[in-house]
Amino acid sequence: MTVKISGLTAFTGLASGDLVCCVDGSTTKKITVADFFGGTTVIPVNINAVTGGFGIARTDGTLHVHTGTAGAVTADTGANDLIVENSAQGGISILTPDANAGIVYFGTPGDAVGASVVWDYGAAGANQAFTLGSNSTNGQLVLRSANAVEAVRIDSSQNVGIGVTAFGTNATNVLGIKADGTVPSSSPAGMIQIFADDTAAGATTATLAIRTEETVTTEVLAGDSTLNIWVNGTEYHLIMRTV
């Protein structure tokens, strides 16, 4: 294999396996590195002054790693510093030894490690923990669904909210459920449903609601109803009186 460096955009005298570096002196000021096999370009690397492309002339974002064309799609400018494109399944792998974690950090000038994504397999698989979250004192974790609608929030006091963002004074490790949702009309097999119910949207009468597969039994003598619940493997009857 030989290495050729040229200021021309065309090459002559190439042999199979030659590595070619071309400095384009035109207005694009592009450096092109390509591996030639029998005159065919394989995995070209094109580097402009501030952008680059692997597998393709840079067409998208700052750094474009191109295995195949995904179709008529352009990366959003809000996240196009690194673009990985493939015509089939695509992906990015972070590979480490068993005893060392694979990590992605998110930082700013105010906090170099504000949030992280970590996979810690551990020596001989002792840990096997996937961690996603904040690394900031007041950090919160928010999960969204639908079109960027907030669904679940875990705040810095480990309160968990479904549709809510405030938990009350001094709240810690509290589960909060918004009561303005739609009450389920059926019970899917093999599950119970726990939700908050209110007399009307925005009302101040929210209460705990449970829907189960179990039929509530009426106690004729007492005039009350019972619901079977299990606590630590023991069945109890929860007595409920209608109002």
| Dihedral sign of CA atoms 192, 198, 199, 200 in order | negative
pLDDT at 3: 46
Beta carbons of 103 and 85 less than 8 angstroms apart: no
Average the pLDDT over 224-242 and give the result. 70
Number of Cβ within 10 Å of residue 18's Cβ equals 17
Number of residues in the chain: 243
pLDDT at 220: 53
Instruction: Output the average pLDDT for the chain.
Output: 79
pLDDT at 8: 46
Would you state the structure tokens that stand for residue 38, as one six-digit string? 């029998």
Beta carbons of 176 and 160 less than 8 angstroms apart: yes
- The angle at the Cα of 183, spanning 179 to 185, to the nearest 5 degrees, equals 170
Residues 6+ apart with CB under 8 A from 218: 224, 225
What are the boundaries of each domain within the chain?
3-85, 102-177
pLDDT in tens, 125-153: 999 999 999 999 999 999 999 999 999 99
Paired sense of beta strands 63-66 and 52-54, if any: parallel
Beta carbons of 99 and 118 less than 8 angstroms apart: no
Give the Cα separation of 32 and 10 in Å (integer): 11
pTM listed for this prediction: 0.70
Average the pLDDT over 11-21 and give the result. 56
Beta carbons of 87 and 68 less than 8 angstroms apart: yes
pLDDT at 4: 47
Confidence label for 199 from pLDDT (cuts 50, 70 and 90): low
Beta carbons of 229 and 236 less than 8 angstroms apart: yes
Give the Cα separation of 112 and 136 in Å (integer): 10
Would you state the structure tokens that stand for residue 93, as one six-digit string? 């792998």
Among candidate residues 104, 136, 134, 108, the one with its CA nearest the CA of residue 120: 104
pLDDT in tens, 31-67: 555 555 555 454 555 555 556 666 666 567 788 888 8
| Dihedral sign of CA atoms 177, 181, 185, 186 in order | negative
Give the Cα separation of 43 and 67 in Å (integer): 9
pLDDT in tens, 85-138: 999 999 999 999 999 999 999 999 999 999 999 999 999 999 999 999 999 999
pLDDT at 1: 44
